[in-house]
Structure 1
Amino acid sequence: MIRTATPADVPDLHALIRELAEYEKAVEEARATPGQLHEALFGEHPAVHAHVAVDDRSGETVGCALWFLNFSTWRGVHGIYLEDLYVRPTARGAGHGKALLTELARLCVARGYQRLEWSVLNWNTPSIAFYESLGARPQDEWTVYRLTDESLTALGGERR
């Protein structure tokens, strides 16, 4: 079962995000707190959306998709950027990941969004194979750049 996350899902979402960070070998970078997650999802100005995959038999939350809107200046419409897609290892192969992606694709189609995009680590070949089996294709002509921590602070602190 896939459903839109509620405030009661924040502890499970936080735990799934931590598990994803461990899987991606970057747990020390996952610093978000449950409070920050709650504010981003359900605060006065929500900027992030989430769906959860719930096992029909046990009722356990076994996966999640956290996403936000982006905008294509070339197409002139919004799209969805999938920040995190994660299914617990014990629940993989049961269709939860595909169901989460299907729900996001359904939202795109229903709302007139023309893109569903995400990033995947180059070494994550099981996920790459899964995404490609759904028809997703890598955008390898683009390189992602990121400013964080000291570099972001240094640039953001410069005066004009």
Structure 2
Amino acid sequence: MIRAATPADIPVIHAMVRELAEYEKALEEARATEGQLREALFGERPAAFAHIAEDDTTGEPVGFALWFLNFSTWRGVHGIYLEDLYVRPQARGGGHGRALLTELARICVERGYERLEWSVLDWNEPSIAFYRALGARPQDEWTVYRLTDDALRTLGSRG
């Protein structure tokens, strides 16, 4: 079962974010707090959204998708950028990841969004194979760039 996240889900979302960061070998970079997630998802002006995958028999949360809107100047409409998709190891292969992506695709179609995009680590072959099986294709001509920490502060402090 897939459902929209509620404020009561913040602790489990936070835990799964940390599990995902550990899987991606970057736990030290996962500094978000439960308070920050609560504000982003349920504050006065939510900037992100989340869905929870629950085990069909126990109702226990076993995965999540956290996403936000982006905008294509070429298409002239919003799209969804999937920041995180995670299914706990014991629940993998049960259709939860597919169900989460199906829900986001449904939202795109319903709202007239023309893109559902995300990034995947080059070494994550199981996820790459899964995404390809769904019909997703890599954007090989594009490279993601990121400013963080000192580089971001340095550039941002220039007048």
- Give ranges in structure 2 of 5+ residues lacking alignment: none
Output one character per residue of 1:38-80: Cα deviation in whole Å (capped at 9) or x when no partner. Answer: 0000000100000000112112100000000000000000000
Output one character per residue of 1:16-46: Cα deviation in whole Å (capped at 9) or x when no partner. Answer: 0000000000000000000000000000010
Separation of aligned partners in 2, 1:142 and 1:56: 38
Separation of aligned partners in 2, 1:41 and 1:138: 28
Match of 2:92 in 1: 92
Counting matched residue pairs gives 159
Separation of aligned partners in 2, 1:58 and 1:150: 45
Separation of aligned partners in 1, 2:143 and 2:111: 28
- List aligned pairs for 1:102-117, cutoff 5 A: 102-117=102-117
TM-score (structure 2 length as normaliser) = 1.00
Match of 2:147 in 1: 147
Match of 2:129 in 1: 129
Q: CA deviation at 1:132?
A: 0.1
- Give ranges in structure 1 of 5+ residues lacking alignment: none
- List aligned pairs for 1:78-89, cutoff 5 A: 78-89=78-89
State the AA in 2 paired with 1:5.
A
Does residue 31 of structure 1 match 2:39?
Answer: no
Output one character per residue of 1:68-112: Cα deviation in whole Å (capped at 9) or x when no partner. Answer: 000000000000000000000000000000000000000000000
State the AA in 2 paired with 1:137.
R
Moved over 2 A (4+): none
State the AA in 2 paired with 1:115.
R
- List aligned pairs for 1:21-60, cutoff 5 A: 21-60=21-60
Q: Aligned-residue CA RMSD in angstroms?
A: 0.3
Identity percentage of aligned residues: 78
